[in-house]
Amino acid sequence: MTTPFPQLPAGARIHSPKSRGSALGTAELLAELTARAGALGLSQLAVTSAAPLEQAATRWQEWLTHGHHGAMSYLSDGERADPRSLLPSAKSVICVAMPYATNSEFVPANRLAGKPPEAAQGQLAGYAQGRDYHPLLWNRLLALADILADLTGEAILARPCVDTAPLLERALAARAGLGFVGKNGLIIAPGGTSLLLLGELLVDFELPLGAAIKDRCGECTKCLDACPTAAFVGPYVLDAKRCISYLTIELQDAIPRELRAPIGTRVFGCDVCQTVCPFNSPSARARAGCAPELASTRDGLSLIGLLELGASRYRAVVRRTALRRVSRVQLARNAAVALGNLGDPQHTAALFRAALEHSSVLVREHAAWALGRLGAESELRTLCDSQQPEPVRVEACRSLAELLDRAAHAT
Ligand code: SF4
Ligand code: SF4
């Protein structure tokens, strides 16, 4: 009778050595692993134990209790503070980071005089300007597990995690000493930047552990002060419900009205609390570099194109990018808001068409709001009087009332 092969935890794999190992002491082993990780494009590597994160677990629970996670109910799933909930035999967590570039601060203002309506661009967060990093980082973590098996000469059971697994990855990276958590809640590497994509490799092997490093924000509050939607409750504490990343990527429903204007022309995420950070100065970014595969290929997308996105064009736009996380309707909704914020009357016709005809009532409602921002009184009157779905009619009438009120106060 054959013994059944024991079932491995989801996502875990055994990495068998291809050599007998290289009799290194633990410190040399870690140094060699770090050097080999660097050659793979993983600019930072630090190790922490697989023991649960106790303080971070308490802070996380408080954050959830306050409801700062909004509609992201999946964040309360799983034992995020305990790596062993993902790999019960884990002994160490190897935390890595891969730098990425962003052109966000270089996006020129949408100056449209003399240009066609399609020229208006919606901004993308830096990490979404190039290729999707998830498969790239995942494959590098697998390669790192192979390297560890070869260096030790032992079979390694490993489980890679790339931000989709329920794990408090920033808290783990901080405990490992990969960087410190800035007041914007992001990991800032010493001598580096916060423009980092984090990954973790859970392994059933004991490696020398790193130590947390001191927060170096000092008196600075630039990120807190610059946030367009005032999303920080205080240092280190984000109310995700107000964050533009949440509003444009996670939220499936209507964007709260009072938060639409500060979104500006961003259609996927936001980088403001990173671009203002002194640790992300141009010279620091130049030093940190960017994984060539993640180089920015586009910093924006045509807003009219997004508003009128069909199913096949949608697939082409999001293919192999982090934009896959949002639906066609979300992109069109975000484009309507951005066009409203751009305030250029040459977009009235496209927005009116969307308000009347888009297949999604959600998009039609946001297009009606945008028409109000453009001062499109006659179009709003048509939407108010017609047999529109309730949310569209209500939004059009409210926007019209505001428009008339502004006009009355201007005279
Ligand atoms: Fe604020 Fe943008 Fe940072 Fe979110 S990503 S906290 S909206 S600055
Ligand atoms: Fe810290 Fe200032 Fe950077 Fe915010 S902007 S993370 S406070 S250094």
Give the distance from CA 29 to its chain's centroid: 33
Q: What is the pTM of this model?
A: 0.94
Q: Is the pLDDT of residue 129 over 80?
A: yes
Closest ligand to 242 CA? 1
Residue 300: per-residue pLDDT:
85
Identity at 340, one-letter amino acid code? G
Q: Is the pLDDT of residue 103 over 70?
A: no
Closest ligand to 272 CA? 1
Ligand 1 contact via 168 beta carbon (within 6 Å) = no
Q: Is the pLDDT of residue 158 over 80?
A: yes
Residue 7: per-residue pLDDT:
86
Q: What is the pLDDT of residues 325-355, one digit of tens each?
A: 999 999 999 999 999 999 999 999 999 999 9
% of residues, the chain, pLDDT over 70? 96
Among the listed residues 57, 340, 256, the one whose alpha carbon sits nearest the alpha carbon of residue 171: 57
CA-nearest residue for atom 4, ligand 1, is: 243
Q: Exposed, middle or buried: residue 305 (CB in 10 Å: 0-12, 13-18, 19+)?
A: middle
Closest ligand to 250 CA? 1
Q: What is the pLDDT of residues 198-235, one digit of tens each?
A: 999 999 999 999 999 999 999 999 999 999 999 999 99
- Residues 239-260 have a mean pLDDT of 98
Q: Is the pLDDT of residue 111 over 80?
A: no
Residue 1: per-residue pLDDT:
47
Q: Is the pLDDT of residue 248 over 90?
A: yes
Q: What is the pLDDT of residues 159-209, one digit of tens each?
A: 999 987 899 999 999 999 999 999 999 999 988 899 999 999 999 999 999
Atom of ligand 1 nearest to the CA of 230: 1
Angle CA(4)–CA(9)–CA(11) in degrees, nearest 5? 120
Q: How far is CA 399 from CA 11, 340, 353, 367, 385, in A?
A: 50, 12, 17, 11, 13
Pick from 104, 233, 237, 244 the residue to mutate for probing ligand 1's pocket: most ligand atoms within 8 Å of its CB: 244
Q: How far is the CA of 223 from the centre of ligand 1 (A)?
A: 8
Q: What is the pLDDT of residues 300-312, one digit of tens each?
A: 899 999 999 999 9
Per residue, what are the HEC states of the chain?
A: CCCCCCCCCCCCEEECCCCCCCCCCHHHHHHHHHHHHHHCCCCEEEEEECCCCHHHHHHHHHHHHCCCCCCCHHHHCCCCCCHHHCCCCCCEEEEEEEECCCCHHHCCCCCCCCCCHHHCEEEECHHHCCCCHHHHHHHHHHHHHHHHHHHHCCCEEEEEECCCCCCCHHHHHHHHCCCEECCCCCEECCCCCCCEEEEEEEECCCCCCCCCCCCCCCCCCHHHHHCCCCCEEECCEECHHHCHHHHHHHCCCCCCHHHHHHHCCEEECCCHHHHCCHHHCHHHHHHHCCCHHHCCCCCEEEHHHHHCCCHHHHHHHHCCCHHHHCCHHHHHHHHHHHHHHHCCHHHHHHHHHHHHHCCCHHHHHHHHHHHHHCCCHHHHHHHHHCCCCHHHHHHHHHHHHHHHHHHHHHC
Atom of ligand 1 nearest to the CA of 238: 6
Residue 106: per-residue pLDDT:
43
The answer to whether 392 touches 364, Cβ cutoff 8 Å, is yes
Residue 112: per-residue pLDDT:
66
Ligand 1 contact via 125 beta carbon (within 6 Å) = no
In this structure, the chain runs to a length of: 411
Ligand 2 contact via 226 beta carbon (within 6 Å) = no
Residue 101: per-residue pLDDT:
77
Pick from 229, 250, 280 the residue to mutate for probing ligand 1's pocket: most ligand atoms within 8 Å of its CB: 229
Q: Rounded to whole angstroms, how far apart are CA atoms 235 and 223?
A: 9
Closest ligand to 179 CA? 2
Q: How far is the CA of 328 from the centre of ligand 1 (A)?
A: 23
pLDDT band at 19 (very low <50, low <70, confident <90, very high): confident
Query: Sign of torsion, CA 240 244 246 252?
Result: positive
Q: How far is the CA of 211 from the centre of ligand 2 (A)?
A: 21
Ligand 1 contact via 247 beta carbon (within 6 Å) = no
More confident position, 407 or 230: 230
Atom of ligand 2 nearest to the CA of 226: 5
Ligand 2 contact via 184 beta carbon (within 6 Å) = yes
Atom of ligand 2 nearest to the CA of 215: 1
Beta bridge partners of 156: 15
- Residues 392-406 have a mean pLDDT of 96
Ligand 1 contact via 243 beta carbon (within 6 Å) = yes
Q: Is the pLDDT of residue 46 over 70?
A: yes
The answer to whether 11 touches 160, Cβ cutoff 8 Å, is yes
For residue 344, indicate whether it is catalytic.
Answer: no
Q: How far is the CA of 235 from the centre of ligand 2 (A)?
A: 9
As a dihedral over the C-alpha atoms of residue 173, residue 177, residue 180, residue 185, rounded to 10 degrees, the angle is 10
Residue 24: per-residue pLDDT:
86
